[in-house]
Amino acid sequence: MRKVFNKELLEIAKKDPRIFMILADIGYGEIEEFAETFPDRFINCGVAEQNMTGVACGVAMEGNIAVTYSIANFPTLRCLEQIRNDVCYHNANVKIVIIGGGMAYGELGISHHSTEDMAIMRALPNMVVLAPCDKTETAALTRAMMAYEGPVYFRCGYKGEPDIHEGPVQVKIGGSAQIRDGRDAAVFFAGTVGINAKKAVEQLAKEGIGCRLVSLYSIKPIDREAILRAARETGGIVVLEEHNICGGAGSAVAEVLMDEGAGNVPFRRLAMPDVNATKVGCQAWMREQYGLGVSDVVDAVKEIVRG
């Protein structure tokens, strides 16, 4: 997914001279073409994410579009004060791109996990939060992000993520993508962990349980109508996310349901428990360890259907 993002950014930058890439000494193997093509629009701030964010805000305040880029939580948590006070307070046109959302860097431990980011970023005024699930959504959402005026947080995958969509997808800020329909239950997901939701829904279909499958690629603003339709038209809702259970996509969906008087719909959240992820391993294995596996989705849907 990171290759797709960098390719799309390069093509957009060829047409828009306002685009700058600003990073913290990371991304080698992916960012060289941008740096070589636009040396005057490429700034490496060194391992100094707070400075990177301040520079990006300054670049944006001069009428440009600044893209900060680093792995996992480094361009967010390490420089949160600068994002809040510089970028969001000034509604600056800064795009904060992380590579390896969730536990993509599982072998490197909690310092490289990004499992509180959506809760933190969506709490910031003016911030849009996007979480593409595969290469198709990454390309489309990169274009949507760069066309949007204002701060955006872009939770990109790492590499080798399987495709979830089988063809082109239309996206918009505040939208979602329905992948298949069903009336027994609705399974919403955010990000690359959606592959487990897709596999689970396919397994359930073989057992005669029809599920609506929806990618919540826009966490803020969120597709309220898609959530309310699922509450009206299906037997219940399951939300899967590779994020702490506090404040992420599941919380955002629950807020919509309660705000709109639909809180009586059967509802399950599948997310990381509110613990530090002390286990170490590949992303797929980590998902299984923390209750985000295919069987976990299957069991949650069956609880709703049988209930």
Residue pLDDT, tens place only, 97-124: 999 999 999 999 999 999 999 999 999 9
Q: Give the mean model confidence (pLDDT) for residues 129-148.
A: 98
Segments forming the whole domain that contains residue 76: 2-156
Cα separation, 281 vs 15, in Å, equals 41
Q: Give the mean model confidence (pLDDT) for residues 78-96.
A: 98
- Is there a domain that residue 171 lies in? no
Q: Which residues of 26-52 are buried (b: 16+ CB within 10 A; e: fewer)?
A: bbeebbeebbeebeebbbbbeeebbeb
* Same domain flag for 181 and 65: no
Q: What is the pTM of this model?
A: 0.97
Residues 13 and 170: beta-carbon distance below 8 Å:
no
CA 247, 250, 253, 255 torsion: positive or negative? negative
- Is there a domain that residue 229 lies in? yes
CATH assignment at residue 150:
3.40.50.970
* Same domain flag for 144 and 188: no
Domain end (from 156, 190, 209):
156
* Same domain flag for 95 and 28: yes
Alpha helices in the chain (DSSP H): 2-15, 32-37, 49-61, 80-82, 117-122, 135-147, 194-206, 224-233, 249-259, 283-289, 294-306
Residue pLDDT, tens place only, 292-305: 999 999 999 999 99
pLDDT on residue 264 = 95
pLDDT on residue 253 = 98
* Same domain flag for 237 and 97: no
The total number of structural domains in the chain stands at 2
- Is there a domain that residue 59 lies in? yes
- Is there a domain that residue 164 lies in? no
* Same domain flag for 149 and 187: no
* Same domain flag for 181 and 152: no
Residue pLDDT, tens place only, 10-66: 999 999 999 999 999 988 889 999 999 999 999 999 999 999 999 999 999 999 999
Is 83's pLDDT higher than 90? yes
